Amino acid sequence: MANISEPLSPAFIGAAAVRGDLLVRIRRGAEYVAIPVFALVVSSVLFSVFLLALGKSPVEFFELVHRGGFGTAFSIQNTLQRSAPLILTALAVAVPARIGLIMIGGEGALVLGGFAAAVVAIPLVRGHVPPPITLIVMAAMGTFAGALWVGLAGYLRHARGVNETISSLLLTYIGIAIMNFFVEGPLRDLTNPNKPSTMPIGDAYMVGKMPGTDVHWGLATGIVLAIVLYVLLSRTTFGFAVRITGGNPRAALAQGLPVGKLIVLCCMLAGACAGLAGFFEVAAIQGRANASLAAGYGFTGILVAFLARHNPLAIIPVAILFGGIVASGGLVQRRMDLPDATVLVLQGLTFVVLLVSETLYGRFKIFQVSGTADRT
Amino acid sequence: MTDSPFLIVLFAIVGGALRVSTPFMFVALGECLTEKSGRVNLGLEGTLVLGAMTAYATSYHTGSPWLGVLAAGCAGVFLGGIHGYVCKLPKVNDIAIGIAMMLFGTGLAFFFGKSYIQPSAPRLGSFSLGEWTGNPQIATALEVNGLLIVGVLVAVVMAWAFANTKWGLIVRMTGDSAPAARAMGVSVDLVRFLATAAGGFLAGVGGAFLSLYYPGSWNQGLSSGQGLMAVALVIFARWKPLQCVVAALLFGAAGAIGPALQSVGITQGYYFFNAAPYILTLLIMIASAGSKQAMRDVPGELSIIK
């Protein structure tokens, strides 16, 4: 089993926590902040070299990212809007990672969650069921569809030993195909000739904006869920069992922990988060389910989770950072005449550099505290 | 005789299997080589896409599709080389790096490929395996490209080399037991680096087939998961090159069902048949991943099915 779920924040460091020495915890924790930040800097430098080689100005690029993502009140709201699905899809990677699984099916769970929510809305909207009830049912369906999808990958991992990384990505392709099948066939809204979509849920049924902002409630939901999952994973017996299983599945079995149940449960939690992201995309942005749901949030979420070292709390700022990068994509594209895949190159590069930076852990004396020597 | 819809569909599936299977075959052979050395490269999906783009661009600029194939292989060596190099560093997870390389390769391909979506580049030629029947329909259905033959030859040579040569033995030993390889004075990191780079070359060539022969154009939707399916296919093929060829043909056939039915006017469930290869891959993984046979044949150092 892949060992990707190292303890992530000071609170998880057993030896240090037992001593209760705040200074020790900060020093250990600093490593988990410093190295990802270092990786971000290195990938920015590499990306600048890439741009220079193409005759583009890196200064202009980062200036545009700043302006397009964080420069004005409007762009900040746009960024936060895009951070919401990123927080949720990153949680969909982080939770299974804590139990030692590299699950990358967030995109599929998001698409199916959004699709399920849009489908269940059709009869409810037609029957003039009050919006709050409709939205609750939609959210429940979206969550359930996502949980089912990622949970399936988790079940296959446990029951049959099917590699979860491959199966979850395959399930993503299957999920998108299922949506396309229904959206272009039986459930197509024939009044909309432009793009195959399901019936729109209508403005009256859309999720509203948070008071005083232009950002929908998905952001608040994502932040609350991140905090809840942080507490669940780091402060409860369940979280402790998950961490033991992630660290050493054999030891967990020997302890009599229900390893299979824990794995499936973690995966279902993960899928639920991604499915919820799909629900918000449908109920707060798109208003219907169509191919736009597969916009890549699930894949960017993988990177966000790894940068946050699978710590739910750290996911929030990282998701906002990447929400900004995604949000500024259009501006960068127009002003610098760069293809839309520029953001994809930056993300891929960051991801590679970040994973390579894993090798730095435990190499710097300044972070090391005697008695808490590296475990790997 | 050929008026029968059944035969038309059958030949369309066989012909489709021959065409569709080639990229699967190359990626699977590349992954087979890499995994034999004890490392998993999940990033071959990205290699496939970057290879397709590189091949198309090179063919467009030089006018020679075979140069394009070579360039695609070099692009594959580039991505495989990165993967092979960074995985030797301690604490670097080869599966996670694979995901990152998948995003990175796809991103690079889309970035540089933007300007090649419109222009038309010279394609690879084809010849028919069905000329002897004297039936033009069958002859067209059974048209194949030279790369298919190359792929089969590579598989035969690989199978022979694994069994009979010193190099083959070194790769297998590295994959089965790194300590044993070290004891024999073999540099595990070097062998894995070379195996990953060579595997990347093959996957890149598979990408060249996609853009230069079938479907025969470059666009961003060219590959959706073929590279990944090919990686899954290696488990099914039990890390044997010749079985990789058979498995690739099977996958090609699964992928050809949809278009074949469409050719006789059955368009219902097109998206379902589009999903058929993914579903087949998943079923095959379920059937083969945990089996005793797979456990026996898996290279000992491999992390993918533990």
User: B81-123 pLDDT, tens per residue?
Assistant: 999 999 999 989 889 999 999 999 999 999 999 889 888 888 8
Residue found by looking up tokens 């992954």 in the block: B31
Contact B148, B18 (CB under 8 A): yes
Which two tokens mark B164? 């009979």
Rounded to 5°, the CA angle A13-A16-A17 comes to: 75
Instruction: Give the one of A169, A177, A338 whose C-beta lies nearest to B271's C-beta.
Output: A177
| Nearest-angstrom CA–CA distance, B238 and B219 | 33
Instruction: Give the one of A4, A184, A351 whose C-beta lies nearest to B104's C-beta.
Output: A351
pLDDT of residue B98: 93
pLDDT of residue B256: 80
* B305 to chain A: closest CA residue: A163
Please tell me the distance in Å from A74's CA to the nearest CA on chain B. Answer: 28
- Residue B282 at interface with chain A, using a CB cutoff of 8 Å: yes
Q: Is A371 exposed, middle or buried (0-12, 13-18, 19+ CB in 10 A)?
A: exposed
Q: Region A272-276: what's the mean pLDDT? A: 97
Contact B105 A169 (CB under 8 A): no
Contact B246, B93 (CB under 8 A): no
Among B234, B274, B282, the residue to mutate for chain A (most A Cβ within 10 A): B282
pLDDT of residue A7: 46
DSSP code for A70:
I
Helices (H), A281-341: 297-307, 312-327, 329-336
Give the pLDDT band of residue A367 (cuts 50, 70, 90): confident
- The kind and range of the H/E element at B288 are helix B270-289
Task: Please give, one letter per residue, the 3-state secondary structure of A176-230.
Answer: HHHHHHHHHCCCCCCCCCCCCECCCCCHHHCCCECCCCCCECHHHHHHHHHHHHH
Tens of pLDDT, residue by residue over A207-261, are 988 888 889 999 999 999 999 999 999 999 999 999 999 999 889 999 999 999 9
Bond before B215 cis per omega within 30 degrees: yes
Mean pLDDT of all residues in chain A? 89
Residue found by looking up tokens 């024999």 in the block: B184
Helices (H), B126-269: 136-141, 146-164, 166-176, 178-183, 188-212, 226-236, 241-263
Contact B97 A355 (CB under 8 A): yes
Which two tokens mark A346? 């930056």
Instruction: Give the one of B229, B275, B286 whose C-beta lies nearest to A162's C-beta.
Output: B286
Q: Tell me the CB-side half-sphere exposure of residue A28, using CA atoms within 13 A.
A: 24
Highest mean pLDDT among A106-110, A175-179, A293-297, B6-10: A106-110
Contact A348 B281 (CB under 8 A): no
Instruction: Kindly report the number of other CB atoms within 10 A of residue B232's CB atom.
Output: 30
Which residues of chain B have a CB within 8 Å of the CB of A163? 232, 235, 285, 289, 304-305
* A299 to chain B: closest CA residue: B103
Q: Is A48 exposed, middle or buried (0-12, 13-18, 19+ CB in 10 A)?
A: middle
Separation of CA A141 from chain center? 19
pLDDT of residue A214: 86
pLDDT of residue A369: 67
Please tell me the distance in Å from A349's CA to the nearest CA on chain B. Answer: 6
Give the pLDDT band of residue A3 (cuts 50, 70, 90): very low
Please tell me the distance in Å from B126's CA to the nearest CA on chain A. Answer: 31
- Residue B60 at interface with chain A, using a CB cutoff of 8 Å: no
Does the structure show a pLDDT above 90 at A103? Answer: yes
Helices (H), B37-90: 44-62, 65-86
Residues 6+ apart with CB under 8 A from B21: B148, B248, B249, B251, B252, B253
Q: What is the pLDDT along chain B (306 residues), one digit of tens a residue?
A: 456 778 778 887 888 888 889 999 999 999 999 999 999 999 999 999 999 999 999 999 999 999 999 999 999 999 999 999 999 999 898 899 999 999 999 999 999 998 898 888 888 888 877 777 777 777 777 788 889 999 999 999 999 999 999 999 999 999 999 999 999 999 999 999 999 999 999 999 999 999 999 888 898 888 878 888 888 889 889 899 999 999 999 888 887 877 777 777 777 767 777 788 889 889 988 888 777 777 788 888 887 655
pLDDT of residue B156: 97
Q: From A211, A201, A192, select the one nearest A139 (Cα to Cα).
A: A201
Residue found by looking up tokens 């966000």 in the block: A304
Does the structure show a pLDDT above 50 at A8? Answer: no
pLDDT of residue A254: 93
Contact A342, A35 (CB under 8 A): no
pLDDT of residue A5: 46
Q: From A312, A309, A290, A295, select the one nearest A355 (Cα to Cα).
A: A309
Contact A80, A280 (CB under 8 A): no
Contact B286 A160 (CB under 8 A): yes
Q: Which of A122-126, A226-230, A331-335, B123-127 has the weakest average pLDDT? A: B123-127
Contact A352 B100 (CB under 8 A): yes
Contact B282 A303 (CB under 8 A): no
Which two tokens mark A258? 């229900």
* B30 Rama class: left (phi>0) / alpha (psi -120 to 50) / beta: alpha
How many contacts, defined by CB atoms under 8 Å, are there between A and B? 148
- Residue B254 at interface with chain A, using a CB cutoff of 8 Å: no
- Residue B275 at interface with chain A, using a CB cutoff of 8 Å: yes
* Beta bridge partner(s), residue B127: B144
Percent of chain A at pLDDT exceeding 90:
71
Supply the pTM of this predicted model.
0.90
Among B101, B104, B116, B231, the residue to mutate for chain A (most A Cβ within 10 A): B104
Give the pLDDT band of residue A141 (cuts 50, 70, 90): very high
Give the pLDDT band of residue A16 (cuts 50, 70, 90): very low
Contact B126, B149 (CB under 8 A): no
ipTM confidence: 0.91
Please tell me the distance in Å from B234's CA to the nearest CA on chain A. Answer: 12
Q: Tell me the CB-side half-sphere exposure of residue A98, using CA atoms within 13 A.
A: 31
Contact A168, A105 (CB under 8 A): yes
* B86 to chain A: closest CA residue: A356
| Nearest-angstrom CA–CA distance, B103 and A105 | 14
Please tell me the distance in Å from B196's CA to the nearest CA on chain A. Answer: 16
- The kind and range of the H/E element at B14 are helix B5-36
* B115 to chain A: closest CA residue: A339
Percent of chain A at pLDDT exceeding 70:
93
Please tell me the distance in Å from B65's CA to the nearest CA on chain A. Answer: 25
Percent of chain B at pLDDT exceeding 70:
96
Please tell me the distance in Å from B128's CA to the nearest CA on chain A. Answer: 33
pLDDT of residue B304: 62
pLDDT of residue B3: 61
Among A355, A358, A375, the residue to mutate for chain B (most B Cβ within 10 A): A355
Q: From A119, A358, A153, select the one nearest A274 (Cα to Cα).
A: A153
Which residues of chain A have a CB within 8 Å of the CB of B231? 166
Which two tokens mark A328? 């500024």
Contact B254, B276 (CB under 8 A): yes
Residue found by looking up tokens 């004075």 in the block: B185
pLDDT of residue B274: 76
pLDDT of residue A10: 47
| Chain B (79-108) residues lying within 8 Å, Cβ to Cβ, of chain A | 82, 86, 89-93, 95-101, 103-108
Hey, what long-range contacts does B214-217 have (CB within 8 A, 24 or more apart)?
B214/B19, B214/B20, B214/B22, B214/B145, B216/B123, B217/B56, B217/B120
Which residues of chain A have a CB within 8 Å of the CB of B39? none
Contact A31, A13 (CB under 8 A): no
| Nearest-angstrom CA–CA distance, B297 and B300 | 9
Q: Enumerate helices (H) and strands (E) in chain A, giving the number of each.
A: 15, 0
- Residue B290 at interface with chain A, using a CB cutoff of 8 Å: yes
| Nearest-angstrom CA–CA distance, B211 and B209 | 6
Tens of pLDDT, residue by residue over A36-50, are 999 999 999 999 999
pLDDT of residue A18: 52
Give the pLDDT band of residue A195 (cuts 50, 70, 90): confident
